[in-house]
Homo-oligomer: A and B are copies of this chain.
């Protein structure tokens, strides 16, 4: 909307820009040192800024971390929504797009995954974190179930419990993230995608050609 932009000076960057800069520094630090060893000094230094800067923009550390979690959650959602838009409209293609989105570089990058797991590890004791973590999958799950229903209709499949299958798919998707994060034998995003597609092909054999 606004035409006039005056960055460069570093000091006069717009608030939103600075906040994002700090959030990204936080992500880096969490991936590098873990959530427990991430200090405000580390984050502000990584951002090339001064000691007090985080309190200025986020009031306190807790809030920076909270906003960081919200940031990757929002990024995650945007990613799969845009993948759905770009894909063909038939349910099998939509399903493929939705699940492959989880392994695109923007969201399944090791730094981001480290952040997700860090917050999952704290979620039990922090209701605020827990809520965001739950919200990550609400819309995703709903759409996934709709697609499964359409696919069952199209392929005449039987013996499928939609809700359970959706839970299973999402569980596998998350578990594959863990594998990317931790695996000893260089498990990559492309490997995760392949495993997931094989699963879908097994559950929906009539649509095998779309998945593989």
Contacts and interface: CB of A to CB of B under 8 A. Distances in A.
Contact of A114 (B125, B171, B172, B175): B125
Interface string A114-132: 1001111111111000100
Interface in A156-212: 159-161, 164-165, 167-168, 170-176, 178-179, 181-184, 187, 191-192, 194-196, 198-199, 201-203
Contact of A195 (B118, B171, B191, B194): B171
Interface in A16-38: 31-37
A133 interface: yes
Given A130-B182, A184-B134, A31 B124 contact: yes
A110 interface: yes
Contacts of A192: 171
Contacts of A118: 121-122
Nearest to A33: B125
Contacts of A182: 120, 123-124, 130, 133-134
12 contacts: A34-B124, A35-B36, A35-B121, A36-B36, A113-B124, A114-B124, A117-B120, A117-B121, A118-B121, A165-B195, A171-B192, A172-B172
Given A37-B125, A165-B198, 15 more contacts: A35-B36, A36-B36, A117-B120, A123-B181, A123-B182, A124-B181, A159-B202, A165-B195, A168-B176, A168-B196, A168-B199, A171-B174, A171-B178, A175-B175, A202-B202
Interface of A: 31-37, 110, 113-114, 117-126, 130, 133-134, 138, 159-161, 164-165, 167-168, 170-176, 178-179, 181-184, 187, 191-192, 194-196, 198-199, 201-203
